[in-house]
Amino acid sequence: MIIGNFNYDSKENTFQGNLMTLIVQYYGISFRPVEKSGDKEPDYRVIAPTEQGDVEFGAAWKRTSDRGQEFLSVSLDDPSFSASINAALFPDESGKTAKLVWNRAKPKSANVATATTAKAKKASAT
């Protein structure tokens, strides 16, 4: 599900855009590069403007998919969220725009139950 549209500024190495869902609407979001002092630190900070000034509400790390596509792995969090949001920012082929994509995580208990049921069926078949 696409929850954001961004433009890339190659001079500043930043992404600017909006994050939209039916409930959450953030305008003027920036992905700003940061100087890293270690491999695990994020490549970008996600910043939102407010009337009182900018606030950080996320971070992003450069990644490459199994198919060789570069993207940003994004983690967003806010005290108003029930849990952090994990998403991915995928640049288009031109590199001038990008889409923020989110998918709901499948419940772990359902995955465990499915795997357990499959093992039980396999064991009873032999």
Q: Using an 8 Å Cβ cutoff, are 41 and 34 in contact?
A: yes
Number of domains into which the chain is organized? 1
Give residue 119's pLDDT. 54
For residue 75, what are the CA distances in angstroms to 36, 61, 64, 110?
Answer: 17, 9, 16, 24
Range of the domain at 114: 2-125
pLDDT for residue 59: 97
Which pLDDT score is estimated for 117?
52
User: CB neighbours of 55 closer than 8 A, spacing ≥ 6?
Assistant: 47, 48
Q: How far is C-alpha 66 from the chain's CA centre?
A: 17
Task: Give average pLDDT by consecutive 10-residue segment, the chain, 126 residues.
Answer: 96 96 91 92 96 95 94 93 92 95 79 53 52
Virtual torsion, Cα 23, 102, 91, 20, nearest 10 deg: 0
